[in-house]
Amino acid sequence: MKKSIVELDNVWKVYKMGEVDVPAVRGISLKIKEGEFVAIIGASGSGKSTTMNMVGCLDYPTKGKVLLDGKNIQRMSEAQLAQTRGKKIGFIFQTFNLIPSLNALENVMLPMTFQNYSQNVKVKTAKDLLNKVNLTTRMHHKPSQLSGGERQRVAVARALANDPELILADEPTGNLDSKTGKQIMDMLDKLNEEGKTIVLVTHDLNIAEGAERVVRLKDGQIVQEVKNGKRVRLLKA
């Protein structure tokens, strides 16, 4: 049986807006198992971003539990969580989130710095990863000298720097044209075939349809879950 990398157990996230409590996520339970390709979809305001933060262990829940490799993240210090998350999860963002003052090679090396790799290992790994995403000739260029597609490929390479089990991609094609977006999706498909677990957060049904499992959110709750084209969960219409 495949193990769960991340598990949300009746997770709530409530934000304070003045004197008003605003629940962004309301009682979500979800398991992400190794080797899966899961798409989390929903309209703006559905709770996708907050759910992504929970799956990525970027924030603590207000209620419920988030388990990373079976361990409750609320029992970890922020430093412990950051260290564990850095090893287990790689992040790809819509806005790339590259450091403007660093070139492509240095951006890919950055996550390894926090895991105390030697300089030689960091350089070799970053070069190998940039070669994997066909950017060998662009490794010394800064983000401002790269196209949107090239920047996103640097972001993919950076997400792989610590060889994480889980890649979390938040609207990874949102700032790209359709042709370049397809190239990024093909890259994610290939990573999944190589054994990486992929969680894709998107509002685009065309992007989501390639996933093995599609989880639909509405008003901070899971309203539908489809696996391999078959509905496996329907909570509300």
What domains, with CATH codes, occur in the chain?
Answer: 36-48+83-234 (3.40.50.300)
> What is the pTM for the complete model shown?
0.90
User: Would you call 212 exposed, middle or buried from its count of C-beta atoms within 10 A (0-12, 13-18, 19+)?
Assistant: middle
User: Would you call 87 exposed, middle or buried from its count of C-beta atoms within 10 A (0-12, 13-18, 19+)?
Assistant: middle
Strand partners, 97: none
In this model, does residue 178 exceed pLDDT 60? yes
CA–CA distance, 6 with 104 (Å, rounded to integer): 30
pLDDT score of 195: 94
In this model, does residue 237 exceed pLDDT 50? no
In this model, does residue 234 exceed pLDDT 60? no
* C-alpha dihedral sign at 109, 80, 196, 120: positive
**Identity at 77, one-letter amino acid code:** S
User: Taking all residues of the chain, what is their mean pLDDT, rounded to a whole number?
Assistant: 92
pLDDT score of 114: 85
pLDDT score of 229: 66
pLDDT, tens digit (0-9, with 9 covering 90-100), for 147-172: 999 999 999 999 999 999 999 999 99
